[in-house]
Structure 1
Amino acid sequence: MKIKLMTVYVDDQEKALNFYTKVLGFVKKADFSNGPYRWLTVVSSEEPDGTELQLAKNDNPAAKAYQEALFQQGQPAVMFHTSDVQADYDRMTARGAEFTMPPTDVTASKIASLKDTCGNLIQLTQLMRY
């Protein structure tokens, strides 16, 4: 069994696509519409056949409430693993990312948090040992 898809709710799919590709460095995997519905996913450029992240419109009241509650509590909607948090922080900051926490050492890892411009917090995690 594998994890193939994860969903993050966004308030604007086009803005999310721009952020997740141009700032984070992911690549678009799927993008098609059926009426007002848009199926949009991105993947890591390092694993083009890996787990997809669906950028789903938060037009469902439950999705919107969930997204807003996580953000207000300072909880990340999604966490990404990196081998070098500081390098990613520097790269993303140069591309206009707004970090809420710079790279910080915590128990057995280094983490940083940033806003995705679409209503979510993202956590970057570098494990200090595997």
Structure 2
Amino acid sequence: MSLGISQVTIYVEDQQKAVDFWTDKVGCAITRDMPYGENRWIEVEPPGGGARLVIHKADPDWPTPPTDMPGHVLFEADDIVTTYEELRARGVEFTRSPEQESWGWSAVFEDPEGHRFHLGQR
């Protein structure tokens, strides 16, 4: 059997602000952007490929996700320190700089809405 992950959805209040962050600061490429009801269906792919992020408009009645804990999405880089420095230079805000843990390297960054994401090293 072959099984993989094709998409991970991120719920945001402002889709365009999220698109700008993921494309301009993180360097993702838009793979799909089309009308979806009153909003848009937007997919971006990270540099180097992999699972796409779906930038989905959050319903205002949904609870706000916690911002005091790391997210559940892990990005990997061949060289975490170089990637960290490049992302910071583009304006990506890190809540935790790269640190060597017993299980590997880890850093944490956040998007403009406060969602946190891990950055690890392959």
TM over 0.5: yes
Residue 65 of structure 2 aligns to a residue whose secondary structure is: helix
Q: Which amino acid in the other structure matches residue 115 of structure 1?
A: E
Is 1:104–1:110's contact at 8 Å kept on the other side of the alignment?
A: yes
Give the whole-Å Cα distance in 2 for the aligned partners of 1:41 and 1:4: 11
User: Counterpart in 2 of 1:120?
Assistant: 115
Give the whole-Å Cα distance in 1 for the aligned partners of 2:115 and 2:86: 20
Q: Which amino acid in the other structure matches residue 17 of structure 2?
A: K
| Structure 1 position 58, deviation (Å) | 1.4
Identity %: 30
| Structure 1 position 60, deviation (Å) | 5.2
Give the whole-Å Cα distance in 2 for the aligned partners of 1:120 and 1:79: 12
Question: Which portions of structure 1, spanning 4 or more consecutive aligned residues, are displaced by more than 4 angstroms?
Answer: none
Q: How many residues align?
A: 120
Q: Which runs of 5+ in 1 are unaligned?
A: none
Residue 47 of structure 2 aligns to a residue whose secondary structure is: coil
Residue 119 of structure 2 aligns to a residue whose secondary structure is: strand
| Structure 1 position 108, deviation (Å) | 2.6
Across the aligned residues of Structure 1 and Structure 2, the Cα RMSD in angstroms comes to 1.7
Give the whole-Å Cα distance in 2 for the aligned partners of 1:33 and 1:120: 24
Bigger fraction of residues in helix: 1
Q: Does 1:11 align with 2:8?
A: no
User: Counterpart in 1 of 2:56?
Assistant: 56
TM-score by length of 2: 0.87
| Structure 1 position 35, deviation (Å) | 3.9
Q: Which runs of 5+ in 2 are unaligned?
A: none
TM-superposition CA deviations, 1:68-117 (whole Å, max 9, x none): 22x13x12142111111111111011111111001111123111111111
Q: Does 1:76 align with 2:78?
A: no
